[in-house]
């Protein structure tokens, strides 16, 4: 076997991002593939990986460490959830070998607002954020990972103690594609409409009634139809933050670390700023890579 680093994979529902990392952790090769688990038949993941992903990354003979939905019941093999509070050591101990040299990071589970709450992939980003600064391993921190299913995460002395999930991104897509609030053919990015939606979110309560306000605004001409997506984004993110931030924060001045896509994190940062909460944005790709590297070091 070639001893020259490893392949790091972030294998999600719709896409797969892969990197070949050298022994020093530097990226030697990177590629993205439309091979998310929702697009693959049962048993197809192993075949497509060996036929397409490994050759594209120049990773013949290299071991593999993967995170994300590839470890779900839709993926290659099931990597059982690790219960919170969860540490680096518990994640490393929960690695599952899908094939010789191919290991999968487990997800996390905790008791949520309405029953068990789960995550897959975000735990690796959180670990990458921890690894970015020695100070992150000490004290209490509040993290938010915006996305289809946004995560709000409490970290205590390097351990994920609890988290809560909001289906904000999925709800935005569903409302925009179906029903009376569906978007028109030519939406625009309207910052003023976003702020108006944020203001309409209020304290996050009565969300279904506030949502219908968008119908009245567009019918009355008080909001251009093209600006409806921006208004809806402001409302949904505003309601999410108004409801979840007070539940997980330690104090009113506590900053929030935002991990993920830069544009989406900027929207969350805008809402937090309006509410007087400081926030720092961290890149999603860099934290995933750092997290996989940290797990690799802990198990090699």
Q: Cα separation of 231 and 223, whole Å? A: 9
Provide mean pLDDT across the span 142-159: 96
Task: Read off the pTM.
Answer: 0.93
Task: Give me the domains of the chain, ranges plus CATH numbers.
Answer: 1-105 (3.30.420.300), 121-300 (3.30.420.310)
Tokens of 84: 């919170």
Residue 3 reports pLDDT greater than 70: no
Provide mean pLDDT across the span 92-107: 97
Tokens of 68: 């994300």
Identify the residue with better confidence: 1 or 159. 159
**Per-residue model confidence as pLDDT tens digits over 263-276:** 999 999 999 999 99
Residue 285 reports pLDDT greater than 90: no
pLDDT of residue 254: 82
Q: Which residues contact 1 (CB under 8 A, 6 or more apart)?
A: 61, 62, 63, 101
Tell me the helix, strand and coil percentages in the chain, rounded to 5.
45, 25, 35
Residue 273: closest CA among 248, 250, 245, 247: 245
pLDDT of residue 250: 78
**Per-residue model confidence as pLDDT tens digits over 32-45:** 999 999 999 989 99
Q: What 3-state DSSP class applies to 67?
A: strand
Q: Dihedral through CA 218, CA 221, CA 226, CA 231, nearest 10?
A: -50
> How sure is the predictor about 29, in pLDDT bands with cuts at 50, 70 and 90?
very high
Provide mean pLDDT across the span 221-230: 96
Provide mean pLDDT across the span 65-71: 97
pLDDT of residue 91: 95
For the ranges 1-5, 40-44, 75-79, 230-234, the lowest mean pLDDT is seen at 1-5
> How sure is the predictor about 253, in pLDDT bands with cuts at 50, 70 and 90?
confident
Residue 176 reports pLDDT greater than 90: yes
Tokens of 251: 């104090």
8 Å CB contact between 244 and 167: no
Residue 1 reports pLDDT greater than 80: no
């Amino acid at each position: 076997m070639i001893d020259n680093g490893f392949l790091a994979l972030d294998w999600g529902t719709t896409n797969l991002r892969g990197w070949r990392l050298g022994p020093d952790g530097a990226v030697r090769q990177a590629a993205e593939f439309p091979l998310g688990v929702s697009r693959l038949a049962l048993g197809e993941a192993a075949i497509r990986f060996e036929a397409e992903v490994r050759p594209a990354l120049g990773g013949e003979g290299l071991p593999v460490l993967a995170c994300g939905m590839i470890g779900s019941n839709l993926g290659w093999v099931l990597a059982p959830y690790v219960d919170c509070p969860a540490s680096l050591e518990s994640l490393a101990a929960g690695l599952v070998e899908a094939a010789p040299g191919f290991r999968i990071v487990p997800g996390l589970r905790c008791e949520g607002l309405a029953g068990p709450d789960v995550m897959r992939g975000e735990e690796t980003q959180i670990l990458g954020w921890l690894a970015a600064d020695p100070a992150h391993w000490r004290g209490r921190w509040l993290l938010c990972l915006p996305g289809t299913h946004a995560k709000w995460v409490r970290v205590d002395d390097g351990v994920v103690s609890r988290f809560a999930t909001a289906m904000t991104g999925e709800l935005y897509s569903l409302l925009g594609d179906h029903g009376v609030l569906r978007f028109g053919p030519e939406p625009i990015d309207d910052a003023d409409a976003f702020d108006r939606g944020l203001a309409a979110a209020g304290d996050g309560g009565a969300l279904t009634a506030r949502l219908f306000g968008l119908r009245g605004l567009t019918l009355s001409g008080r909001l251009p139809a093209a600006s409806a997506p921006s208004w809806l984004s402001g409302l949904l993110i505003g309601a999410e933050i108004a409801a979840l931030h007070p539940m997980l924060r330690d104090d009113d001045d506590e900053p929030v670390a935002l991990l993920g896509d830069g544009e989406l994190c900027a929207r969350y940062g805008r809402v937090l700023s309006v509410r007087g909460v400081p926030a720092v944005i961290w890149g999603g790709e860099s934290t995933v890579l750092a997290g996989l590297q940290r797990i690799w070091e802990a198990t090699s």
